Amino acid sequence: MVLSELKVGEKAEVEGLLAESGVRRRILDMGLVKGTKFKVLRVAPLGDPVEIFFKGMYLSLRKNEAADVLVRKIGETGDGAPMREGRGGRQSGS
Amino acid sequence: MGMRREIRVALAGNPNSGKSSLFNGLTGSHQKVGNFSGVTIEKYEGYVDHQGYRIRFVDLPGTYSLTPYSPEELVTRKFLIEESPDMVVNVVEGPNLERNLLLTTQLMEMEVDLLVAINMYDEVEERGIEIETEQLRGLLGCPVIPTSAKKKQGLEALLDHVVRVFEGDIDIRKNKLGFRPEVDGAIREITGLLRHEPDLSRFNPHWLAIKLLENDREVYGLVRDYPLWLKVERVLQRVLGETERLYRTDPEVVITEDRYAFIRGVMQECVLTPGEGRVSLTDRIDRIVLNRVLGLPIFFFIVWLVFQLTFTLGTPLMDGLDLFFGTIADAVSPLLVNETLRSVIVDGVIAGVGGVLIFLPNIVLLFLGLSFLEASGYMARAAFVVDKVMHRFGLHGKSFIPLITGFGCSIPAIMATRTLKSPSDRLATIMIIPFMSCGAKLPVHILLAGAFFEPSVAGNVVFGIYMFGVVVGLLSALLMKKTVLKSESEPFVMELPPYRWPTARSVFWQSNIKAMMYVRKAGTIILLAVLLIWVASNYPKNPAIDAALERQIATIEAGELSRGAKDVAIADAENSASAEKLEYSVAGRAGRLMEPLIRPLGFDWRIGVALVTGLAAKEVVVSTMGTIYSLGETDETSPELKTILKNDPVFDRATALSLMVFVLLYIPCVAAIGVMRKEVGTWQAVALYSGYALTAAWVFSFLTYRLANLFL
Ligand SMILES: Nc1nc2c(ncn2[C@@H]2O[C@H](COP(=O)(O)OP(=O)(O)OP(=O)(O)O)[C@@H](O)[C@H]2O)c(=O)[nH]1
Ligand SMILES: [Mg+2]
């Protein structure tokens, strides 16, 4: 499935990028590479763009761009809080 | 003093990592900082003397990677490649290390002398993130210095390291990142090939090879003209085949993934993030501010609040200043016995320049409001909330940031469009920026709204004018996008930074700079314009008018009327004589000439003159009116312009609204036109635009005047 099909609160992992050159470059630079886990935080009031959270940062992208990101759903938490896992680095206490 | 040795150091890093803040802290400069990506759009230099060296820092626009994406990012890459600074300080955002290190890996590939400043270390500590800098230094192979531009920590250490690296006291290992074997093999092969071309020796062949694999168009262009290209191309084709077969993607993606793999390793070894923890302040604020239902109302409320406060808080201060200048005029006036000199000072300088200066409090408040939006982190959120609307009108969510800046001044706003990638989005945004009512137009709006509407609604009238500008701007953008600027819309991928408190220091300096600029403008351009206007509205003199006036006064005095009635008659005669004199002057004649054009809008020749002189700077509209109307006044005391306008038969609500709309929409000031020309590249586009703006101004003012006459 693709990122734009995810609902608010769902977590997923990036599997690859469909996009051509320009957009893909920017998405890659932002760190949405294969294996990155993220959570869909919210959708803007008018239904587009969406905001996702990963690696400790908040990123917004239009559904149009989100449709170019191939993802695999890995669960959902349901609330609007950003997830803490999937963030780079060791977790304390582990 | 002996010769100081210079060290040139570039500050490079991701957008919003705090480069400008660090630059300001290091060099004592006051470059603009703000909590969103793309604040700095041009390079700035500053220096500091340290341990016998003059260290010249260059603050660069932020960039996510060295394959540039938007025009301002190009500046950074160009600088690093073409001006080869002695050293690069890579400023990374400590709390957001993982993403920030991507650029670090690319700088490592350039094999420059590199230092990494982990900035915002205060936030790192506050969030309980632990970074083992010694380990990081080992893995990156370059010095790593924790800094906090906000708390002014680590700045000395950074300077010490710069000097030590320059002196060769610290060895920078220049670690090489490893990629997957197919890619690494190709890099080695291409590097070998490039070494044989002496023309390319000024570039690092290793870096060129990586960039070729990353499909970098500019580097392609660089290498393509040499005979070795054939061989290089063969290698590129081969790797492409290999990565497609093995990883089902191209080398560009493989390279980025491998950089991130390296970074993941670094993060695992050096960074300890607290696990599932408290919900951050940013999350809590965003749940409300970006809420699906509340998001838009809150956005409008915030913008409304900025303008409302500008008006409500500013007005009492403005009235105070107005009174102050009035008192000065009254005090100075009797001292100046020479009639001409008195008129220059009182009607020209005080009415004209003072008339503009009284708006200083409003201007400062406006900029305070805007800088709060910029510094808090709300700007990116607002772009997020309105992107869909902007998209409908063919613009980009990010266009929104320059548009808001345009409420302050069009010039930085036009330059800020460099953060937009697509040229047609940029052009459309540049063209509508002048419709965002700038700070210089604020005095006109405040003067007119204040004179013709009750205090309780005047603030909303001003807000309404601003919104009207936004609507006209958006519709114009749509028109352009549907006709001359058809294009694919640009993708929207934007980071939302965490909320931050603006530092008092930067807010103070920003508003101080804006206030000084305004005062300086009043003392230069506006003063000059006022003196010219004074001359133009006083000469040539017509002695016949004075003679006629004297005869008239003599007749009145000789008549049978009571003392009081005589005085009234004399005042009347004097007033009509000054009006005749004004009309006889150069300004008067020029104004009369264009009066037929603006009559339908409810304007007389005096407003026409003010509009023309307003092209020098929009505040001049007010100062011209100040001068012309006070020349027309023959009172002993100098009433405020507001009062004069209220009593003027030409002026009513309809005229006031019509004039506000005209000033809002017509051609921007010469300085903005110049910048527009520079950013757009051709005069034709600017000329076309000016014609459009004038037409729009005329049509909308006409409609406003007619409708207001019907309904008010
Ligand atoms: N807490 C904290 N905030 C900082 C620090 N340095 C900068 N900031 C804030 O981070 C934001 C970005 O700062 P800038 O200096 O404008 O960042 P920049 O890297 O120049 O950004 P661009 O010009 O857009 O590339 C501002 O809100 C600063 O107040 C720091 O050391 N600690
Ligand atoms: Mg900056």
ipTM of the complex: 0.87
Residue B342 pLDDT class (50, 70, 90 cuts): confident
Looking at residue B333, its pLDDT comes to 84
Domain definitions of chain A by residue range = 3-75
Nearest alpha-carbon partner for B400 in B377, B376, B416, B424: B416
| Structure-token match 């080398």, residue found | B251
Pocket (CB within 6 angstroms of ligand 1) = B 13, 15-21, 33-35, 37-40, 61-62, 119-120, 122-123, 148-150, 375, 500, 503
State the architecture of A3-75 in CATH terms.
Answer: Roll (2.30)
**The pLDDT of residue A79:** 52
β-pairing, B114-119 vs B144-146, is parallel
Cβ–Cβ under 8 Å, residues B186 and B239: yes
Across the range B636-649, mean pLDDT stands at: 78
Mean pLDDT, rounded, for B645-657: 89
Nearest chain B residue to A93, by CA:
B275
CB within 8 Å: A87 and B388: no
CB nearest B268 (choices: A85, A89, A92): A89
Note the pLDDT of residue B300: 92
CA B556 distance to own-chain centroid: 60
> Which residues lie below 8 Å from residue B58, measured CB to CB, with a gap of 6+?
B8, B9, B10, B11, B43, B44, B45, B79, B85
Mean per-residue pLDDT, B649-666 = 93
Q: Please name the fold of domain B5-167.
A: Rossmann fold (3.40.50)
Chain A residues within 8 A of B68 when measuring between CB atoms: none
Task: List the structure tokens of B23.
Answer: 């630059």
Minimal Cα–Cα distance from B679 to chain A, Å? 23
Whether the Cβ atoms of residue A32 and residue A14 lie closer than 8 Å to each other? yes
Task: Report the distance separating Cα B605 and Cα B622, nearest Å.
Answer: 15
Which residue has a Cα nearest atom 8 of ligand 1?
Answer: B18
Which atom of ligand 1 is found nearest the CA of B21? 15
pLDDT in the model for residue A75: 77
* SS3 at position B56: strand
Q: Nearest by CB to A28, which of B98, B253, B267?
A: B253
CB-CB under 8 Å, B491 with A61: yes
pLDDT bin (cut points 50, 70, 90) of residue B634 is low
Distance from CA of B274 to the nearest CA of A (A): 5
CA B20 to ligand 2 centroid distance, Å: 4
Closest chain B residue by Cα to residue A92: B274
The rounded percent of chain B whose pLDDT value lies above 90 is 47
pLDDT band at B514 (very low <50, low <70, confident <90, very high): confident
Do A49 and B498 lie within an 8 Å CB cutoff?
no
The residues spanned by each domain of chain B are 5-167, 181-272, 511-543+553-627+639-711
Q: Is B234 exposed, middle or buried (0-12, 13-18, 19+ CB in 10 A)?
A: exposed
Q: Which residues of B692-708 are buried (b: 16+ CB within 10 A; e: fewer)?
A: bbeebbbebbbebbeeb
- The closest residue, in CA terms, to atom 30 on ligand 1 is B120
Residue B124 above 90 pLDDT? Answer: yes
CA of B262: which chain A residue's CA is closest? A88
B579 against A14, higher pLDDT: A14
The Cα B311–Cα B455 span in angstroms is: 9
Residue-wise pLDDT for B3-41, tens only, equals 679 999 999 999 999 999 999 999 999 999 999 998 998
User: Which chain B residues contact residue A47 at CB under 8 A?
Assistant: 388
What's the CATH number for B181-272? 1.10.287.1770
CA distances from A42 to A52, B116, B277, B287 (A): 7, 34, 20, 9
Angle at B301 between CA B299 and CA B302, to 5 degrees: 65
Q: What is the pTM of this model?
A: 0.87
CB pairs under 8 A between A and B: 163
Q: How far is A12 from chain B (nearest CA, A)?
A: 18
Q: Average pLDDT, stretch A20-29? A: 80
Instruction: Report CA(B4)–ligand 2 centroid distance (Å).
Output: 28
Q: Which two tokens stand for residue B593?
A: 């000439």
B401, B461, B402: which is closest to B430 by C-alpha? B402
Task: Give pLDDT, residue B3.
Answer: 62
Closest ligand 1 atom number to CA of residue B119: 31
Which residue intervals of B599-668 are DSSP H helices? 605-613, 619-632, 641-647, 653-665
**Nearest neighbour of A62 by CB, restricted to B275, B276, B491:** B491
Residue B640, helix vs strand vs coil: coil
Residue B645 confidence (pLDDT) above 70: yes
By CB atoms closer than 10 A (0-12, 13-18, 19+), residue A61 is buried
Residue linked to tokens 């909330």: B385
